[in-house]
């Protein structure tokens, strides 16, 4: 689904933006500059995941960083290009949520329930653990 949403961006002439950028960009537009830790907490994501996302966004010219309150932190903010994309990303976000609701109505079980059930199953035993279990012991 993410690849198809990315194709929506391309169809609208937006290059270098991935769906995983939308939520952090929208948050930064509404809060102003945040450290990676603050942004991760506000989005309920891991520091590592947001750090990687920010690095990819920086390469695309969507965010900039400046020294934070101490030497270990950097404050992340949208660039002019990033800020200009936020209205479209907010509209796409709403359209995507509407699309998920339509999908929920079309299938005999809610997609959101499947995602939540899958999340719980992976909390019990991670994808890594499951794949390794099927691979067996490595040869010596």
- pLDDT tens column, 17-62: 999 999 999 999 999 999 999 999 999 999 999 999 999 999 999 9
Domain assignment present for residue 140? The answer is: no
Q: Are 43 and 26 in contact (CB under 8 A)?
A: no
- pLDDT tens column, 90-125: 999 999 999 988 988 898 888 888 889 998 999 999
Domain with residue 23: its CATH number is 1.10.10.10
pTM of the model: 0.79
E strand residue ranges, 20-78: 34-35, 63-67, 74-78
* Pair of tokens at residue 65: 């960083």
Domain holding 24, by residue range, is 2-135
The phi, psi pair for 109, rounded to 5°, reads -145, 145
Q: How many domains does the chain have?
A: 1
């Amino acid at each position: 689904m993410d690849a198809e949403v990315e194709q929506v961006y391309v169809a609208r002439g937006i290059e270098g933006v991935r769906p995983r950028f939308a939520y952090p960009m929208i948050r930064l537009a509404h809060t102003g500059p945040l450290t990676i830790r603050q942004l991760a907490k506000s989005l309920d994501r891991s520091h590592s995941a947001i750090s990687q996302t920010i690095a990819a966004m920086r390469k695309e010219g969507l965010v900039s960083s400046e020294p934070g309150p101490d030497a270990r932190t950097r404050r992340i903010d949208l660039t002019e290009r990033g800020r200009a994309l936020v209205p479209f990303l907010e509209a796409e976000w709403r359209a995507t949520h509407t699309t998920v609701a339509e999908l929920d109505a079309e299938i005999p079980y809610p997609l959101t329930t499947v995602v939540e059930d899958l999340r719980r199953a992976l909390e019990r035993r991670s994808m890594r653990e499951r794949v390794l279990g099927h691979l067996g012991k490595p040869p010596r």
